[in-house]
Amino acid sequence: MTDTGEDLRGRVAPDERATDIYSEEGSIRHDFLAMVGAAIADRDLLFLRQNVARLHESELGDLIESIHPDQRIALVRLLGDDFDMTALTEVDEAIRMQIVEQMSNAQIAAGIGELDSDDAVYILEDLDDEDREEILAKLPFTERVRLRRALEYPESSAGRRMQTEFVAVPPFWTVGQTIDYMRDEADLPESFAQIFVIDPTFKLLGAIDLDRILRTKRAAKIETIMRETNHPIPAEMDQEEAAQVFEQYDLLSAAVVDENGRLVGVLTIDDVVDVIHEEADEDIKRLAGVGDEELSDTIRETSRSRVPWLLVNLFTAMLAASVISLFEATIEQIVALAVLMPIVAGMGGNAGSQTMTVTVRALATRNLDIHNSWRVVRREAGVGLLNGMIFGILIGLAAGLWFQDVNIGGIIATAMLINMMAAAVAGIMIPLLLDRIGTDPAIASAVFVTTVTDIIGFLSFLGLATWWFSIS
């Protein structure tokens, strides 16, 4: 949907702004940042209202993340009631808390009162219980009840993500009554695409798309044109599972129901896009053993989130080193082994990481399950065999020519084949086993896969070398 003039929140549409804040690379323009910084320093309210307050919330969020921390607080204070609180949902948690902590609870309550319920919950859920209750107490009764109900649902559930504002009508109404209700009722969502049909106990009966309403005569009963709701989302459902329902059935919005099938909210595609982004970001970080850190975190906070898995890596590295120590005598006699053995372990680690990444993502998106897992295992083993042969031949020829020793070339080629196959199997089996026992494979897979490829790589290469040179 396109707007001309003012958009739904009263800001000027992007094509009517005097300033385009982004450079060709997609970052905030340096000269615009300089102008905003100067305006904050000079308390130039006119510039800030014309060029900052009118920004879309995502643009304002980018601007807040780009300016100096001291300027963020000053900007929010200078804009006052013109500051769009929705922008706080577009920034890192650390930045959001930095700003919110400098605002009074009365200011937060006034700002939250203008937000959609899902955005309000997003801000409230990170606050201390005492502050949250004080803010909620300042809101109108109906809004307070809606927000408290959403906050009672588990974190990362559909109930936390849903909007509690929706349009619902009884089945015996006519299309004309429904249209008149939407025209006259002031307390309706700013935008919606569906109307839900409920019984007197708020149990969900069905839904009607707005285009169906517009194409039906006024005298028609709602119950005659409604359809069964497309895949209602349980409020307790994990947000990632809800996103998968949207993806599978190409939904734009879906009703959210409680355990008794009563309508409690609506989940919309814009929230689902955020969920997909967050879950993908979380999986990528976990694969690297990184905690829930943000770019705005301090050195101490970032270090604290990374240390635990680095300690685990240190332990597994010492385990791999202990394998090398078993072959000290062989390495002392044949120096070439010390030069070449990192290649075997490194190639195995990279191959394992490739398989592991694909597997973890397939598990997260539910594309890999018990029905197709063994087929994929066989495929990955075949890939490991083929790649092992290719790179075994390449490194075998290179090592043989390098050290002028055909034995060295044959040993490293065989070890490469063994380790590449082990890496492929470990890369898929370890995430599958972790998922089966209820452990998040995105968190623990990398450490175990790397350990397996290091140990198998060193053991196969040095073990083969020791055996071969002992009989030759």
Q: What is the pLDDT of residues 31-52, one digit of tens each?
A: 999 999 999 999 999 999 999 9
Is residue 450 situated within a structural domain?
A: yes
- 3 state SS of 139: coil
Is residue 347 situated within a structural domain?
A: yes
Range of the domain at 331: 299-471
pLDDT at 444 over 80: no
Q: Cα separation of 52 and 74, whole Å? A: 13
The percent of residues in the chain predicted with pLDDT above 90, rounded, is: 51
pLDDT at 18 over 60: no
Token pair recorded at residue 294 = 């943000």
The percent of residues in the chain predicted with pLDDT above 70, rounded, is: 93
Structure confidence at residue 4 as a pLDDT band (50, 70, 90): very low
Among 155, 178, 195, the domain-final residue is 155
Residue 335 shares a structural domain with residue 256: no
Question: To 5 degrees, how large is the angle CA 40–CA 43–CA 45?
Answer: 100
Give residues with Cβ within 8 angstroms of 70, minimum separation 6: none
Q: Following CA atoms 103, 107, 109, 111 in sequence, which dihedral angle do they give, to the nearest 10 degrees?
A: -100
Q: Which domain CATH number covers 451?
A: 1.10.357.20
Contact 322, 329 (CB under 8 A): no
| Segment 57-81, tens digit of pLDDT | 999 999 999 999 889 999 999 998 8
Token pair recorded at residue 413 = 């080629």
Contact 55, 21 (CB under 8 A): yes
Among 247, 268, 289, the domain-final residue is 268
- What is the average pLDDT across 3-26? 53
Query: Edge-to-edge, what's the strand order for the sheet holding 253-257?
Result: 233-234, 253-257, 263-268
Among 111, 131, 155, the domain-final residue is 155
What is the reported pLDDT for 142? 87
pLDDT at 1 over 80: no
Q: Cα separation of 322 and 465, whole Å? A: 17
Structure confidence at residue 308 as a pLDDT band (50, 70, 90): confident
Residue 151 shares a structural domain with residue 45: yes
Residue 311 shares a structural domain with residue 403: yes
Q: Cα separation of 354 and 427, whole Å? A: 8
Residue 44 shares a structural domain with residue 193: no
Give residues with Cβ within 8 angstroms of 428, minimum separation 6: 355, 356, 359, 376, 377, 380
Residue 134 shares a structural domain with residue 193: no
Residue 133 shares a structural domain with residue 183: no
What is the reported pLDDT for 3? 39
Is residue 2 situated within a structural domain?
A: no
pLDDT at 180 over 70: yes
What is the reported pLDDT for 295? 65
pLDDT at 15 over 50: no
User: Quick count: other Cβ atoms within 10 Å of Cβ 47?
Assistant: 16
Residue 326 shares a structural domain with residue 456: yes
**Best CA proximity match to 145, nearest among 131, 165, 130:** 165
Is residue 68 situated within a structural domain?
A: yes
pLDDT at 315 over 90: no
Is residue 278 situated within a structural domain?
A: no
What is the reported pLDDT for 293? 66
Structure confidence at residue 339 as a pLDDT band (50, 70, 90): confident
Give residues with Cβ within 8 angstroms of 402, minimum separation 6: none
Is residue 333 situated within a structural domain?
A: yes
Residue 100 shares a structural domain with residue 227: no
Helix (H) or strand (E) holding 195: strand 194-198
Q: Which domain CATH number covers 181?
A: 3.10.580.10
pLDDT at 292 over 70: no
